[in-house]
Amino acid sequence: MKRLRIGSRGSALALWQANFIAERLKQTAGAECEIVRLRTSGDHMQTASVAKPLAEYSAENVAKGIFIKELEDALLAGSIDLAVHSMKDVPTETPAGLAFLAITQREDPRDCLISRGGRTMKTLPHGARVGTSSLRRQAQLRHRRPDLEIADLRGNVDTRIKKLESGEFDAIVLALAGVNRLGLAGKITQVLDEEVMLPAVGQGALGIEVRVGDEETARLAATLDHDETRSCVTAERAVLRKLQGGCQIPLGALAHVRGGVLHLEAAVFSSRGSEHVQASDEGPASDAAAIGERLGASLLEAGADNILRMAGRSIGQGS
């Protein structure tokens, strides 16, 4: 059995994820792995905002994913054997020659609030400064609390928390899964249920991407696939695909499977949070892609295309 080279970004969270997959592959398949660190376009942009109006983005960044392009290039070049991605960073189109052979069991997909003084969404004072770089989070924060000052926040999880603790922000919003994975759950002030903030498509799930034709790696990776998580992520990504969106559109979506039935909720928000459309659908988990596409169509019929144009993204231009 060959030694697997796992490509990863160099952040603490990305390395945790890569090492987690390496350990799982060792446990389930006896595979030996090494971590290959790569720097991505998204890492170079850590001092810039990825929450600008979408019309200002290059087509390459939106279409290929600023946090995964270099990992995919390395896969295609054969310098790594597999790449581990947060599924929320993965665009809806996968390059020819690559495939996701596993989506692992999902961590809690919700967002969380970390604040100074133990404040919650309800108790943050008028005009409190809240940091996030996500269009989706910004829009939903403004929808719930239009009085808040929403400010851009870049950097890895530790950097963001340090900026909060230094007084630059009154609160920040992060993915609960990442905070938990880094052992920082004690800093969480409030877990934001989906009624308060719908998470990003695929949030909390890890995907393993491999080269088509690399049968040994494919066989090993497939041992980590989790059927229920794959169904949920498939449905959520189908909504995003129907809206022809990249990773940065003000869309929240969350699927659950109960008793073989997949329940899907999704909403699109205007950038100021003043307008939104929301819809839900359900059906057999085996029909995940169709459910997501159907729900995406429902959102468009309800006016999501107009809201996305307001956010700087015109439906029908592709991504």
One of 89, 170, 281, 305 is an active-site residue; which one?
89
Is 89 tagged catalytic?
Answer: yes
For residues 5 and 79, the answer to whether their CB atoms sit within 8 Å is yes
CB neighbours of residue 208 within 10 Å: 25
Give the residue numbers marked as catalytic: 89
